[in-house]
Amino acid sequence: MVAPAQRNSSKQCGSILVFDGEPVMLDLLAVVLTREGYLVTTTPRSEEALGLASSRRFDLAIADLGLRHRDGCHLVRKLRQLSPETPIVATTAYPASEVVSIAEEHAEILLPKPFGIGELLGAVREALQRQLRMDRETGSRLPAPDGLSAAMSGAQLRASA
């Protein structure tokens, strides 16, 4: 499900993939992030999230690591393999040592539930800013899909479909 930006469309802040098994949480995150100008894609299924991440580049992924089905833990491992340059904000209501260990290894930020809107937005901004600093330091970013040009080692590349 894609929630198009409802605010000023010229204020596009980036694209975010959101995975959470709770439909209410998906809806809440989509509304909050869309109002901030992000293009948000949500899914309650980890396999769908992996399919989406393999078909296009996201600027950030937010994934619930919930212990119920362990889908989130599996997802962040696979996302990191599939798209190592995409920052991940992991959320969880179950801060068991296994979950914390997975988050420390595969995510930039672990955001324990329940969290406030300000905490969420702060984590999103921090993860995106870290990635931007890293991109500037290395001078690289993988080419984005959709025919957009991207800098890589100072050269201009054009992604093709």
Encode 57-70: b = buried (16+ Cβ within 10 Å), e = exposed: bbbbbbbbbbeeee
The confidence score (pLDDT) of residue 147 equals 35
Task: State residue 37's pLDDT score.
Answer: 95
Q: Could you state, in order of their start, the residue ranges of all structural domains in the chain?
A: 2-158
Question: Which residues of the chain are under the pLDDT cut of 50?
Answer: 3-10, 142-161
Which tens digit of pLDDT belongs to each residue from 82-121? 999 999 999 999 878 888 898 999 999 999 999 999 999 9
Name which of 158, 150, 156 is nearest 59 in CA terms.
150
Q: Which CATH superfamily is domain 2-158 in?
A: Response regulator (3.40.50.2300)
- Separation CA 143–CA 3 (nearest Å): 24
Regarding pTM above 0.85, the answer is no
Helix (H, G, I), strand (E, B) or coil at 155: strand
> HEC profile for 42-105?
EECCHHHHHHHHHHCCCCEEEEECCCCCCHHHHHHHHHHHHCCCCCEEEEECCCCHHHHHHHHH
152-155 long-range Cβ contacts below 8 angstroms, 24+ apart:
none
